[in-house]
Amino acid sequence: MRNYPTLQDIHDARERVKPHIRHTPLLRADKIEKKLGCELYLKPETLQVTGAFKIRGALNKVLSLPREETAKGLISSSSGNHAQALAYVAKMLGVKVVLVLPVTTPKLKITNTEALGAEVILFDGDNASRWKQVYDIAERNNYTVVHGFEDPLVMAGQGTMACEILEDLPDVSTVIVPVGGGGLISGVATALKELKPSVRVIGTEPALTPKYYHSRLNGEPTSLPLLDTIADGLRLSVPGRNPYPIIEKYVDEIVLVDDAHIVEGMQVLARDAKLIAEPAASIGIGALLAGSISLAPGEKVCAILTGGNWDLSSLADVYNRL
Which stretches of 143-258 are DSSP H helices?
A: 152-168, 183-195, 211-218, 243-250
97, 87 in Cβ contact below 8 A? yes
Edge-first strand listing for the sheet containing 300-305: 27-28, 39-44, 300-305, 174-178, 200-206, 253-257
Burial letters 232-268, b for 16+ CB under 10 A, else e: bbbbbbbbbebbbebbeebbebbbbbbbebbbbbbbb
- What's the rounded Cα separation, in Å, for the pair 15 and 278? 29
Structure confidence at residue 290 (pLDDT): 97
> Residue 224: CB partners within 8 Å, gap ≥ 6?
209, 210, 211, 214, 237
Residue-wise burial string across 162-174, b where 16 or more C-beta atoms lie within 10 A, e elsewhere: bbbbbeebeebbb
In angstroms, rounded to a whole number, what is the distance separating the alpha carbons of residues 131 and 135? 6
Predicted confidence (pLDDT) per residue in 73-131, tens digit: 999 998 788 999 999 999 999 999 999 998 888 888 889 899 999 999 998 887 788 89
Q: What is the pLDDT of residue 322?
A: 72
Q: CA torsion, points 290, 292, 298, 299, in degrees to nearest 10? A: -140
Region of poorest pLDDT, from 99-108, 180-189, 196-205, 215-224: 99-108
User: What is the spatial distance between Cα 176 and Cα 43, in angstroms, rounded to a whole number?
Assistant: 10
Neighbours of 294 (CB within 10 A): 11
Q: Mind listing the pLDDT tens digit for each residue in 26-72? A: 999 999 999 999 999 999 999 999 999 999 999 999 999 999 999 99
CA dihedral 52, 55, 58, 61 (to 10 degrees): -140
Greater confidence (125 vs 185) lies with: 185
Question: Do the beta carbons of residue 189 and residue 245 sit within 8 Å?
Answer: no
Residue ranges of domains in the chain, CATH in brackets: 7-51+151-320 (3.40.50.1100), 55-145 (3.40.50.1100)
- Return the pLDDT at 105: 84
Cβ atoms within 10 A of the Cβ of 115, count?
Answer: 11
User: How many Cβ atoms sit within 10 Å of the Cβ of residue 21?
Assistant: 21
303: closest CA among 160, 151, 169, 156?
A: 169
Amino acid identity at 121 = I
Average pLDDT, the chain: 95
Q: Calculate the CA dihedral of residues 105, 109, 110, 112 and round it to 10 degrees.
A: 180
Q: pLDDT tens for residues 139-172?
A: 999 999 999 999 999 999 999 999 999 999 999 9
pTM of the model: 0.95
- List the one residue out of 133, 194, 139, 170 whose CA is nearest residue 4: 194
Contact 302, 165 (CB under 8 A): yes
Q: Identify whether the C-beta of residue 244 lies closer than 8 Å to the C-beta of residue 181.
A: no
Mean local confidence (pLDDT), 220-239: 91
Q: What pairs with residue 69 in β-bridges?
A: none
Percentage of residues of the chain with pLDDT beyond 90: 84
pLDDT tens, 299-319? 999 999 999 988 888 888 889
Element of type H or E holding 198:
none
Separation CA 192–CA 73 (nearest Å): 34
Evaluate whether 258 touches 282 at the Cβ level (below 8 Å). no
